[in-house]
Chain A
Amino acid sequence: MVKNKIAQMKIQQMAFMLIAVMIFFALVGLLILTIGFSGLKEKATNLQEENAMLLVSKLANSPEFSCGQAFESKENCIDLDKTFVLKKNIDKYKNFWGVSGIEIIKIYPENKNLVCTNANYPDCDTLELIPKATGISAENFVSLCRKEYNSETSIIYDKCELGKILVKYEKIQ
């Protein structure tokens, strides 16, 4: 009888020991996973930031934005008239560039923070192609060119101003 009780105690001890060892390994596993995943998130955010930087540097030269031969300016030149039309048709380009926001902002001459609409274009400063209030952004300086008509001289001329293009992306949570 006494021997039986001792054996039962030993079995119980072994069971508790096994449970403790399993809990220990589970906790260690969880710790490793947490550290691993936190690194992954950071890597994914860095990759997204890198992609946004690359995109913003080449976006101005893509056919939907670029001046082409229409203006004297060539590199990093955005055709503002074309881009304004693109804004109206932006639904057709959903997920095409894979970013959460694209904005074009005039920085010189003076910026009155006016968002471009059908009513005020071209006397405006910000063209929100894909509006996005929050998020991390990458930007690049560009020239913003459009055709203008001088009613006094009846001459059509190229008007180019200094601006920047902003690409916004969301930080991975």
Chain B
Amino acid sequence: MQGKKFYIFSKPFEFPFKVSDLIYLTSENEKYCFDNAPENIAEEISQLNQANLAANCSNADDKTINVCFNKNCDINVNYASKYVQKGEDKFYFEEDSLMYAAIFSDKEIYECQVERLMKRTKQLAELYEEKELLVSQKNCAGELAVDLDLLISSLENAKNYKVINSVSDLVEDIQNKNKYMECALW
């Protein structure tokens, strides 16, 4: 990445609990436009108000990298199947925060950082599992121990970062259960 001026923004990554804040650094030399992005994404891009990010591609010049959500261009985002395609490379993601990371990163860096995030997710899941045990002694029984255990073992035995896609249903389930628990763990 080269340039004299850089733009920065951050977004939290929650899977299902907050794991980290992701920080995105882009150069003024790399301009991106988001074609036909879902409303929430387009709104977010507009609100960022960064000169190198445009919420639509109507005024894009030849040098601008087109990020498309429903047709083939420089970067294709399959929002339903949760992957970003750049040339022949596929970047799997969960959550919008990782989608941005997939758009702006190199494959090697993206995979390495997602693996690091998964390791932290596992460690945090272990903390929450033990916390549930602790609060259950205060007459506040939870129902997440089994699911958290499953998440921990899935992340532990993962061969690569693509485990994020395979545990997404479990993560959603955990998130919903925690939301309605008397003593929410996070």
Instruction: Give chain A's interface residues, CB within 8 Å of chain B.
Output: 63-64, 66, 68-70, 79, 81-82, 84-86, 88-89, 92-93, 147-149, 154, 156
Contact = CB atoms under 8 A, between A and B. Distances in A.
A63 B131 contact: no
Chain A contact residues: helix, strand, loop or mixed: mixed
Nearest to B123: A92
Most chain A C-beta atoms within 10 Å of own C-beta, residue among B124, B135, B140, B182: B135
| Range of interface residues on B (Cβ < 8 Å) | 20 to 34
Closest 8 CB pairs of A and B: A68-B186, A85-B130, A149-B138, A149-B139, A70-B184, A63-B18, A85-B131, A82-B131
B128 interface: yes
Contacts of B17: 63, 68
Contacts of B130: 85, 88-89
Contacts of B134: 81, 84-85
B124 A148 contact: no
A81 B137 CA distance: 12
A114 to B, nearest CB: 18
A154 B131 CA distance: 21
B142 to A, nearest CB: 11
